[in-house]
Structure 1
Amino acid sequence: MRLGITMFATDRTMEPHALAREAEARGFSSLYVPEHTHVPVSRKTAPPTGAETLPEEYARTLDPFVALAAAAMVTERIRLGTGVLLPAQREPIVTAKAVATLDRLAGGRFTLGVGYGWNAEEGAGHGVPWKRRRAMAREHVLAMRALWTRDEASFKGEFVAFEASWSWPKPTGRVPVLLGGAPGPTLFAHIAEYGDGWMPIGGAGIREALPVLRRACEDAGRAMVPVVPFGTVPTRGKLGYYASLGIEEVVLRVPADGRDVVLPLLDDYASAYL
Structure 2
Amino acid sequence: MKIDATLGGLADAAARARAFEDAGYDAAWAGEVNQDPFLPLAVAAEVTDRIAVGTSIAVALARSPMSLAYTADDLQRHSQGRLLLGLGSQVKAHVVRRFSMPWDRPAARMREFVLAMRAIWSSWHDGTPLDFRGEFYRHTLMPPDFVPPHHDFGPPRVLLAGVGDLMTRVAGEVADGFLCHGYTSARWIRERTLPALREGRRRAGATMDGFEVAGTPFIVTGGDEEIEAAIPAVRARIAFYASTPAYRDLFELHGWGAASEELTALSKAGRWKDMGALISDEMVDAFAIVCGPDDLPARVAERFGGILTRISFVPPAGLGREAAADLVERLRS
Instruction: Give the Å deviation of 1:214.
Output: 1.9
Could you tell me which amino acid in structure 1 is paired with residue 297 of structure 2? R
In the alignment, is residue 245 of structure 1 matched against residue 296 of structure 2?
no
Aligned residues of 2:162 and 2:181 also touching (Cα < 8 A): yes
Higher helix share: 2
Instruction: Give the Å deviation of 1:33.
Output: 0.6
2:197 & 2:139 partners in 1: Cα distance?
32
Q: How many residues align?
A: 240
Residues 116-152 of structure 1, C-alpha deviations (whole Å, 9 max, x = no match): 1036145334333334333333332222111111223
Could you tell me which amino acid in structure 2 is paired with residue 81 of structure 1? G
Match of 1:193 among 170, 173, 180: 173
Q: Tell me, what secondary structure is at the counterpart of 1:165?
A: coil
Q: Tell me, what secondary structure is at the counterpart of 1:67?
A: helix
TM-score, scaled to structure 1: 0.77
Residues 39-76 of structure 1, C-alpha deviations (whole Å, 9 max, x = no match): xxxxxxxxxxxxxxxxxxxxxx3322221111111000
Aligned residue in 2 for 1:19 = 16
2:324 & 2:190 partners in 1: Cα distance?
24
Instruction: Give the Å deviation of 1:268.
Output: 5.4
2:302 & 2:149 partners in 1: Cα distance?
41
In the alignment, is residue 91 of structure 1 matched against residue 64 of structure 2?
yes
Structure 1: state its 5+ residue gaps. 37-60, 255-260
Instruction: Give the Å deviation of 1:160.
Output: 1.7
Structure 2: state its 5+ residue gaps. 220-288, 290-295
State how 1:128-167 maps to structure 2 within 5 Å.
128-150=101-123, 151=127, 152-166=129-143, 167=147
Q: Tell me, what secondary structure is at the counterpart of 2:29?
A: strand
Aligned residue in 1 for 2:154 = 173
Classify 1:124/1:15 alpha carbon distance in 2 versus 1 (closer, same or farther; 3 Å): same
Instruction: Give the Å deviation of 1:180.
Output: 1.0
In the alignment, is residue 272 of structure 1 matched against residue 323 of structure 2?
no
1:146 & 1:181 partners in 2: Cα distance?
23
Match of 2:205 among 204, 221, 224: 221
Q: Tell me, what secondary structure is at the counterpart of 2:308?
A: coil
Instruction: Give the Å deviation of 1:206.
Output: 1.2
Q: Tell me, what secondary structure is at the counterpart of 1:113?
A: strand
- Superposed CA RMSD: 2.6
Residues 204-257 of structure 1, C-alpha deviations (whole Å, 9 max, x = no match): 111223234223312331011221112542633442135532533212257xxx
Aligned residue in 2 for 1:116 = 89
Aligned residues of 1:20 and 1:31 also touching (Cα < 8 A): yes
Per mean C-alpha deviation after superposition, the further-off stretch among 19-28 and 115-124 is 115-124
Aligned residue in 2 for 1:230 = 216
2:189 & 2:51 partners in 1: Cα distance?
26
Could you tell me which amino acid in structure 1 is paired with residue 191 of structure 2? E
Instruction: Give the Å deviation of 1:187.
Output: 1.6
Aligned residues of 1:148 and 1:170 also touching (Cα < 8 A): no
Per mean C-alpha deviation after superposition, the further-off stretch among 139-148 and 236-245 is 236-245
In the alignment, is residue 32 of structure 1 matched against residue 29 of structure 2?
yes
Per mean C-alpha deviation after superposition, the further-off stretch among 210-219 and 142-151 is 210-219
Instruction: Give the Å deviation of 1:263.
Output: 8.6
1:19 & 1:263 partners in 2: Cα distance?
16
Classify 1:127/1:154 alpha carbon distance in 2 versus 1 (closer, same or farther; 3 Å): farther
1:227 & 1:211 partners in 2: Cα distance?
12
Q: Tell me, what secondary structure is at the counterpart of 2:53?
A: strand
Q: Tell me, what secondary structure is at the counterpart of 2:207?
A: coil
Classify 1:142/1:216 alpha carbon distance in 2 versus 1 (closer, same or farther; 3 Å): closer
Q: Percent identity?
A: 30
Aligned residues of 2:162 and 2:180 also touching (Cα < 8 A): yes
Aligned residues of 1:93 and 1:144 also touching (Cα < 8 A): yes
Per mean C-alpha deviation after superposition, the further-off stretch among 239-248 and 223-232 is 239-248
1:143 & 1:170 partners in 2: Cα distance?
20
2:201 & 2:320 partners in 1: Cα distance?
37
Aligned residues of 1:35 and 1:63 also touching (Cα < 8 A): yes
Classify 1:125/1:183 alpha carbon distance in 2 versus 1 (closer, same or farther; 3 Å): closer
Q: Which structure's CA Rg is the greater one? A: 2
2:92 & 2:217 partners in 1: Cα distance?
19
Aligned residues of 2:107 and 2:170 also touching (Cα < 8 A): no
Could you tell me which amino acid in structure 2 is paired with residue 207 of structure 1? R
Per mean C-alpha deviation after superposition, the further-off stretch among 132-141 and 91-100 is 132-141
Per mean C-alpha deviation after superposition, the further-off stretch among 197-206 and 76-85 is 197-206
Q: Which has the higher contact order (CA 8 A, sep 6+)?
A: 1
